[in-house]
Amino acid sequence: MRKAMARHILVKTEAEALQLKKRLLNGEAFDVLARKHSTCPSGKKGGDLGEVRPGQMVHSIDQAIFKKPLRDIHGPIKSQFGYHLLQVFYRE
């Protein structure tokens, strides 16, 4: 069974996601920005999604979690919920 550990930040606009991505790439802490800006309940946990399995997340997020390089900041990725910034720590 495949699984991965990821965290994300969900915001309403692409512009906001791009601004946060710039801050992350400049060294700001992912968990701090997630707590402050994410509209997802996971924001309270620093954006931690815990372990996820294929098919648990919406397709666009699922694809990023299981196909994109580890540890990079991916996004903005659009879904029906808004725009996501995503970081994957490991896959098994």
Q: Residue 45's domain spans which residues?
A: 4-91
pLDDT at 27 over 70: yes
This prediction's pTM:
0.93
SS3 28: coil
Q: Is the separation of the CB atoms in 10 and 39 below 8 Å?
A: yes
Residue 13 pLDDT grade (very low, low, confident, very high; cuts 50, 70, 90): very high
pLDDT tens digits for 41-56?
A: 999 999 999 999 999 9
What pLDDT is attached to residue 45? 97
CATH of residue 57's domain is: 3.10.50.40
As for how many domains the chain has, the answer is 1
In 1-92, beta strands by DSSP E: 4-11, 48-52, 74-79, 82-91
